[in-house]
Copies of this chain bind each other. A is one copy, B any other.
């Protein structure tokens, strides 16, 4: 296996471009770096389009991506394309899982969906995906204005859950059409809603969480069948979006 020692090598130049999220996104690809992120993706069945390792990590490639000829870079060249200060010498290019798939349904009809309208913080989005996986939700649905789910901060925050649960991008119109046809309850998370209590909940159910600063749009709130709020006893005006999404996801998961 040849070790690439020049930054001007055309393969290195191509990979360096893909380390920028904008470029990878255009090509429908994701650049993952670091042993944990790469191993999580592979363990969950993602297929590497390309494997990039530094010269001292050839064993890793043999173990985790057998049959794919890795691009082996000198430590120095790897450091130059790396997105981290202390690179672990392991990176993958994988295909973006399809965001435009149909909204899935369970056979028993006990679907729970969290729908995010314009969530902007990658940490919140990642934490919500992790929670949705943990509580057995059917899918995470993101509006076209919600931040890029394949942003590396999102992927990191999901702790592997990124690859466990369908993430689907739909307009609010498409969501409401699907939920109407499938007789799915729609809950708007709203500071002026009724107090959340598991007794008033039924499945299938989709709950809508809005933007961190502005909450849900009035249009979306009005289209939901119910407005709910999480009871609060203190002086805080609101909860963090991921916390709010988690508390409702937890209450709904009691019905599974």
Contacts and interface: CB of A to CB of B under 8 A. Distances in A.
A236 B130 contact: yes
User: Which residue, of A160, A161, A236, has the highest number of chain B Cβ atoms within 10 A?
Assistant: A236
Interface residues of A, number: 35
A134 interface: yes
B164 A235 contact: yes
B136 A243 contact: no
B253 A231 contact: yes
9 shortest interchain CB distances as A-B pairs: A136-B233, A134-B236, A133-B236, A133-B234, A164-B235, A243-B246, A134-B232, A136-B234, A127-B240
Given A130-B243, A247-B250, A250-B250, 10 more contacts: A131-B236, A133-B235, A134-B232, A135-B232, A137-B234, A159-B237, A231-B254, A242-B242, A246-B247, A247-B247
A228 interface: no
Identical chains in the assembly: 2
A83 interface: no
Given A123-B123, A233-B256, A134 B239 contact: yes
A230 interface: yes
30 contacts: A123-B123, A127-B242, A130-B236, A130-B239, A131-B236, A131-B240, A133-B234, A134-B230, A134-B232, A134-B236, A134-B238, A134-B239, A135-B232, A135-B233, A135-B234, A136-B232, A136-B233, A159-B240, A160-B236, A160-B237, A161-B234, A161-B235, A164-B234, A165-B235, A231-B254, A242-B242, A246-B246, A246-B247, A247-B247, A250-B250
